[in-house]
């Protein structure tokens, strides 16, 4: 993964800036520049009807100046660490649209945004802007949890060697290349997983599949499960054959991804989960949203075609 320019979404409502902390670490590993970006908007200024247009523009300008001064304190901090840094602030109600427009304008290789972590239930809560970024940003998006006290030590790639739901074959390679590159730069342990789910026995009994006498006849449900897992295993092994994953770090897991993937990331202390998205009609699926809501680590989404416009067809999540 080539990262030369990082766009960081800054949040003036927070005392801590996890996205920036993570961006600094990545910038140092990749020798990348950082662009600090702030979307400024104040509903109170717009809702006051007694200001005329000129007064409103002046108030907006003063508001953005105050946010610029806040942003400049972080610019100085990065410069002192020897990181090439620029900054920008724009007035826009739609945060995700503003971030995407800036990312395209600046030719960013990576967009980093902080997520909100609920302290009582110990899970990440994704905002509407987080979901829209995952769905619409043509560049890779890194959503960062609040705890960034350590560098990445466990990186996991989530692939789909079955290429279900029309996912492009090259997407797994993008995910795997990204995972191994980041793991190497951070001297982290790299893992790979695929969650698969066979049809249940009840459905099997209601279908006439591979009847007796056919070339590849399957005579029992147990035999079906055996052959199904063998087929998935072969696809999985072939997909990762060019990479140096230790056998202990290969996680081919049977079960619903909504249950398996959160369990895997937790049991293996995964700091960064990398998965793929691809442009297609429709919003991000409920399954993907359920999975991501239960994963308590940084999440990096990569795309097959970063040249597509963010205003084109929305994509689904490849899990």
- 112 and 163 housed in the same domain: no
The confidence score (pLDDT) of residue 215 equals 54
Residues 278 and 157 in one domain: yes
The β-bridge partners of 45 are none
CB 204 within 8 A of CB 221: yes
CA atoms of 216 and 175, how far apart (whole Å): 34
Same structural domain, 189 and 319: yes
Domain end, chosen from 67, 93, 116, is at: 116
Range of the domain at 54: 1-116
Q: Do 25 and 174 fall within a single domain?
A: no
Q: What is the pLDDT of residue 115?
A: 85
The whole model's pTM is what?
0.83
Verify that 158 and 307 share a domain, yes or no. Answer: yes
3-state helix, strand, coil split of the chain in percent (to 5) is: 40, 20, 35
Is residue 132 a part of any domain in this protein? Answer: no
Instruction: Quote the CA–CA distance of 53 and 297 in Å, as a whole number.
Output: 45
CATH number at residue 255: 3.40.50.620
pLDDT at 43: 58
What 3-state class would DSSP assign to 312? Answer: coil
* Residue 294 confidence (pLDDT): 80
Distance CA 241, CA 161 (A): 12
Place of tokens 């049977």: 254
Q: Are 315 and 275 in contact (CB under 8 A)?
A: no
Strand partners, 158: 193
Alpha-carbon distances, residue 217 vs 212, 221, 231 (angstroms): 5, 12, 15
Domain count, the chain: 2
CB-based contact 263:291 (threshold 8 Å) = no
pLDDT given at position 314: 36
> What residues of the chain score a pLDDT lower than 70?
41-57, 117-125, 164-168, 204-219, 278-290, 305-319
Pairing of strands 298-303, 250-254: unpaired
| 85 within 8 A of 73, measured Cβ to Cβ | no
110 with 222, same domain: the answer is no
């Amino acid at each position: 993964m080539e990262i030369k320019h990082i766009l960081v979404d800054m949040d003036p409502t927070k005392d801590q800036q996890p996205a920036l902390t993570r961006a600094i670490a990545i910038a140092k590993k990749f020798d990348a520049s950082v662009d600090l970006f702030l979307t400024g908007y104040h509903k109170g200024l717009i809702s006051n009807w007694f200001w005329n247009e000129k007064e409103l523009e002046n108030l907006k300008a003063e508001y953005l100046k105050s946010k610029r001064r806040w942003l400049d304190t972080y610019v100085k901090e990065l410069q002192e660490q020897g990181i090439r840094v620029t900054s920008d602030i724009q007035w826009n109600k739609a945060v995700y649209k503003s971030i995407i427009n800036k990312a395209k304008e600046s030719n960013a290789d990576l967009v980093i945004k902080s997520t909100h972590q609920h302290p009582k239930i110990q899970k990440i809560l994704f905002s509407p802007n987080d979901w829209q970024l995952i769905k619409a940003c043509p560049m890779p998006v890194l959503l960062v949890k609040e705890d960034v006290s350590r560098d990445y030590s466990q990186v996991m790639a989530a692939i789909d060697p079955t290429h279900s739901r029309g996912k492009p074959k090259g997407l797994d390679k993008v995910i795997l290349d990204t995972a191994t590159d980041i793991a190497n730069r951070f001297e982290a342990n790299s893992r790979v997983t695929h969650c698969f789910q066979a049809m249940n026995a009840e459905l099997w009994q209601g279908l006439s599949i591979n009847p007796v006498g056919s070339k590849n006849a399957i005579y029992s449900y147990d035999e079906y499960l055996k052959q199904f897992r063998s087929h998935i295993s072969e696809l999985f092994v072939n997909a990762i054959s060019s990479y140096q994953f230790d056998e202990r770090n290969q996680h081919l897991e049977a079960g619903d991804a909504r249950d398996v993937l959160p369990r895997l990331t937790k049991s293996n202390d995964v700091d960064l989960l990398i998965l793929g998205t691809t442009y297609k009609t429709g919003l991000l699926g409920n399954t993907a949203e359920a999975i991501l809501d239960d994963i308590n680590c940084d999440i990096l989404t990569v795309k097959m075609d970063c040249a597509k416009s963010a205003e084109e067809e929305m994509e689904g999540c490849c899990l």
